Amino acid sequence: GMQLYEFPLNTAKFFNHRVVFSGGGYFRLLPYEIIRRLTNRSSYVMSYFHPRDFDPGQKMLPGLTPLRMFKSYYGLHGSLGKLARLISEF
């Protein structure tokens, strides 16, 4: 029969917390240089993104707390360029 392979998301430890550096919010939050270094240390990189991670023009949801607003919208303007740079270097 067929065999199923699992490729876990890449994580790194920051301040005693494991975070996925290769996609989503932490990809937007972390500086490019940190993502590049962590990518260099990995034998593979499993990334994930949602179209909203690259859409700085999306409507802001009303009623969000300041923390939720930060998590949802920080880094949207630079995320596509960051991904393009990462792809071109690797």
Domain span at residue 65 reads 11-89
Residue 6 lies in a domain: no
pLDDT at 19: 92
Nearest-CA neighbor of 26 among 44, 52, 53, 57?
Answer: 53
Give me the mean pLDDT over the 1-28 stretch.
Answer: 92
pLDDT at 53: 95
Residue 3 lies in a domain: no
pLDDT in tens, 48-87: 999 999 999 999 999 999 999 999 999 999 999 999 999 9
Q: Is 73 exposed, middle or buried (0-12, 13-18, 19+ CB in 10 A)?
A: middle
Number of domains comprising the chain: 1
pLDDT at 34: 95
